[in-house]
Amino acid sequence: MINEVRQTVLALANKNNYGYISRRDFNHFARQAQLEIFKEYMYDYNTHIDKQNKRVAVNAGVAKSIASNEDYANIAERKRQVIEIFSTLAPLGNATDGHVYDKPSDLYLLNKLFFYDTQKASGTKESAVSANKLVDPSLTGLSAFGNTASAGDLVVNTDDNTLAFVVEVESGTSLKITDNIFGSGALKYKIFNPTKYSEIEIQDPSQIFNLAASTLVNPSTMFPSCLMQADNVIMYPNTITNPGSVITQYVRNPKDPNWTGVTVTGAANPQEVFNASAADFQDFELPKSEIPYLISKIATLAGMSIRENQFYKDTAALAGMNANEDR
């Protein structure tokens, strides 16, 4: 997808003699374009949900029929399906203080927080890599997985804050899990009962301090609360300190697209050839229907950067028209 977008942008630039757009510049524009479209999805989704709930017309601001309200629902559902690509479930890592947890580094919007209060097992996996497995050869007797784990349990890698769920207890020392969250090395893990949790209520500063001072409604492990700060989340009560026990459902930022290539020499003019197998390659994460819109935005950004008004007008008009048809 990213190569198709880049080749089209380069073709537009070449056709109108507007110069070459370097790999570095293209990747910079691509990141900005994808992020802008992603934010539009978030804004449009919230707008359509609001209109769906209020049953308000776009053009007249008056109540509409149930059928029109269903139109809003369909639009919102299409937007939701795209946003779902970026919906993530992950443990929060503990910061320097025990009940202070770090926000995810790729966080865009935090939706919900959960506290899992029933830990069933913990340990250190074997150093070897076993795809979609948790293997701990040290387990014996009552500590074996056959006695401590079952299908559906929540497994947390507390070293890199990733999670999976138990698919099958293969043996006393081996679990089959849903995702490959354990790489090489002796990584630490914890297993939690997935049914024993409480949703953490997000409070503003005035509320949290009033709650903490109350003897009737002060936060507890059954009814926990938290205070959001710039880079971390403070849990109340302050006894919520167990690494891996706080799970967040959030919308992450899209990964930065990165067009990668190799330079082919030997010809009169050395050329860059697309290389999708490069370790740092990253495609766009948006649907393919957004290709014309991505081309439009990247071309617009490139046109502004080289200060060519006609380039800006041509690309915006061409790709913008296609984008409107596709979207």
Q: Which residues contact 289 (CB under 8 A, 6 or more apart)?
A: 326, 327
pLDDT of 56 above 70? no
| Residues paired with 157 in a beta bridge | 162, 189
pLDDT category of residue 52 using cuts at 50, 70 and 90:
low
Where in 125-267 does DSSP place strands (E)? Answer: 133-135, 154-157, 162-169, 174-177, 188-192, 197-199, 201-203, 225-228, 232-236, 246-252, 261-264
The per-residue pLDDT for range 138-197, each reduced to its tens digit, is 998 888 998 999 999 999 999 999 999 999 999 999 999 999 999 888 789 999 999 999
| Residues paired with 123 in a beta bridge | 189
pLDDT of 207 above 50? yes
pLDDT of 62 above 90? no
| Domain ranges (residues) in the chain | 2-84+256-326, 89-97+104-201+241-252
Q: Which amino acid is at 75?
A: I
CA angle 7, 12, 18 (to 5 degrees): 115
pLDDT reported for residue 70 = 52
Lowest mean pLDDT, pick from 183-197, 216-230, 248-262, 297-311? 297-311
The per-residue pLDDT for range 269-313, each reduced to its tens digit, is 777 889 999 999 999 999 998 888 898 889 888 875 555 555 556
- Number of Cβ within a 10 Å radius of residue 229: 12
